[in-house]
Amino acid sequence: MVDWLKRVLGNEWDVSPAGGLTGDAYFAIRNEERLFLKRNSSPFLAVLSAEEIVPKLIWTKRMENGDVITAQEWVEGRELKHNEMGDQKVAELIRKIHDSQELLHMLMRLGKSPLSADAQFQMVKRRLDSIDLVKLYPEVRTALQYLEELLQVTDEQTPVVCHGDLNHNNLLMTNENNLYLVDWDNARIADPVIDYGMVLKWYIPTEEWDNWLAKYGVTNDKNLYERMYWYLILDTLRYISWHSERNEPVKVTERLRDLQELNMHIEDFILS
């Protein structure tokens, strides 16, 4: 792929893989010009660029084989640190995304539609069954039981565009102090608690949750708390399935530990 991209761009470009799970991202350098290239990015990228949520989109090219290559501005910066996830800028960026009608309309034009919590639950359950994880792991069976018992807490929420993988590695702080959220492969239309619940659970001390939510612009209550844990369990089950399908036992074990902790919390603080 690197050689192919060099033929497309010109041999004067130095192209190298940028890493990542899909292997479809590359860096390209020519003298002082630098680009971030990606193969078959979603058309959603153009709206994200216009909203200044990701680095600027420079050009898009369709190749003869049908692949689409996008080139973005390569910005100087760094990934956010774990302890920076509580910053005001993070909360404001997430709220900006959730409030954006432009992002919502574009994602819907691309064929995305809100999935009910029940539909998501059934999909995850079938996926787990198909690879025998329900039979194999008691913590998976327990988690599915909790999801079914608490399903009603997910009702009547206004769906918004969610990133779906809000971890500090996907937040880029530039040298000019601009904050970007990258890697939109898991974007969906869903309950916004999917996004900020990840931030709260994995980055913010419990005693600071109310302060962080105030930065985002909502007030904590019992329903928010229950929905947050419902989706955290659902998402962890998705990851367990994904890692199992990829034959990554170490990652499966890590996610099972996360699931055990979430199950204990549901039992001790929500269902008790």
Cα 33 to Cα 28, 73, 170: the distances in Å are 8, 9, 24
Cα 230 to Cα 117, 157, 205, 227, 233: the distances in Å are 9, 14, 19, 5, 5
Q: Give me the catalytic one of 3, 67, 165, 268.
A: 165
State whether 49 and 143 are in the same domain: no
Asked whether 248 and 239 are in contact (CB, 8 A), the reply is no
Mean pLDDT, rounded, of the chain: 91
State whether 42 and 101 are in the same domain: no
Q: What is the CATH number of the domain that holds 239?
A: 3.90.1200.10
Q: What is the CA radius of gyration of the chain?
A: 20
Better pLDDT: 12 or 131: 131
DSSP 164-191: S---GGGEEEETTS-EEE---TT-EEE-
Task: Spell out the residues 6+ positions from residue 67 whose beta carbon is closer than 8 angstroms to its own.
Answer: 39, 40
Choose the final residue of a domain: 74, 107, 125.
74
Determine the Cα–Cα distance for residues 102 and 47; give it in Å rounded to an integer. 7
DSSP 269: I
Q: Does 7 have pLDDT greater than 80?
A: no
pLDDT of residue 272: 73
Region of 157 please: left (phi>0), alpha (psi -120 to 50) or beta.
beta
Can you give 57-94 as a three-state secondary structure string? EEEEEECCCCCEEEEEECCCEEECCHHHCCCHHHHHHH
Q: Tell me, yes or no, if 165 is annotated catalytic.
A: yes
Q: Does 50 have pLDDT greater than 90?
A: yes
Closest CA to 187 of 81, 51, 80: 51
Q: Does 100 have pLDDT greater than 90?
A: yes
State whether 233 and 202 are in the same domain: yes
Better pLDDT: 269 or 212: 212
Overall number of domains in the chain:
2
**Residue-range definition of the domain harbouring residue 9:** 2-74
What average pLDDT score do residues 180-199 get? 94
Q: Does 23 have pLDDT greater than 90?
A: no
DSSP H or E stretch at residue 25 = strand 25-30
pLDDT-derived band at 2 (thresholds 50, 70, 90) equals low
pLDDT of residue 4: 62
Share of the chain above pLDDT 90, in %: 72
Choose the final residue of a domain: 58, 74, 90.
74
Q: Does 212 have pLDDT greater than 60?
A: yes
Q: Does 138 have pLDDT greater than 70?
A: yes
